[in-house]
Each structure stands twice: as structure tokens, then as C-alpha cells.
Amino acid sequence: MIKTGELIRLKRRELKITQAELARKVGVTDGYIGKIEIGYQRAGLKTLLKIAEILTIPFEDMIDFDSEFPGARLLADKQADFEKHFKELHPKVKRLLLELVPILEKYV
């Protein structure tokens, strides 16, 4: 499975967008984008959503479930089922669920 940062870098380059341009559109620094791409920094959920939208990457493709990504502990055992059902959801429902993750993490 391709790592989240690698996917972002590949898609950004494919679209001929610089790190600085992407950073400006997302509202972060180009250094932060660089750190995400090399795997030194993990992006938060809102940042990943913005990057996914700008680079037209399906959000579920950006989640590295094998990492320490917030919520990964809950999904590790049921990854295949989760991915199947998540892909079938309407985009608005996906966003709503993703907004609930930080709230749910308080109880893990």
C-alpha cells in the first residue's frame, strides 16, 4: 500500500502543483507539506480533507490504516469491511463521519 505522503507527492507532481501552491490552498506552510510528503509529519483530518479535495484524491485512498493515524486502532481488525462500506457512502456522509472522529477519539 502506498503511504499517504507518497500519494500526495505523486498526485501533486502529476498535476504540476508546487508544494508552495498546495500549501497556500490548504492554508499551511510549504515546509509542512514537505514533511507530510516524506512521512515526517502526519496531517490532521481537516488538512487531509483539504488536500484530498484539491488534488482530487478519494479520501479513503489517503488513509494509511497501518500507521498510527488517529482511529487506526479501532479499524485495524475490520479494515476490509470498513473500506468497502466507506467507499459506498455519499460524499456528504463521509465528511460527517470524518468530522466525528475527533469526538469519538476522546472515548478510546
pTM, whole model, 2 decimals?
Answer: 0.61
Half-sphere exposure of 75 (CA within 13 A, CB side): 22
Give the rounded percent of residues in the chain with a pLDDT score beyond 70: 81
Coil, strand or helix at 9? helix
Q: What is the spatial distance between Cα 28 and Cα 82, in angstroms, rounded to a whole number?
A: 30
51-72 per-position pLDDT tens digit: 999 999 887 777 764 454 555 5
Domains and CATH numbers, the chain: 4-105 (1.10.260.40)
17-46 per-position pLDDT tens digit: 999 999 999 999 999 999 999 988 888 888
pLDDT of residue 82: 72
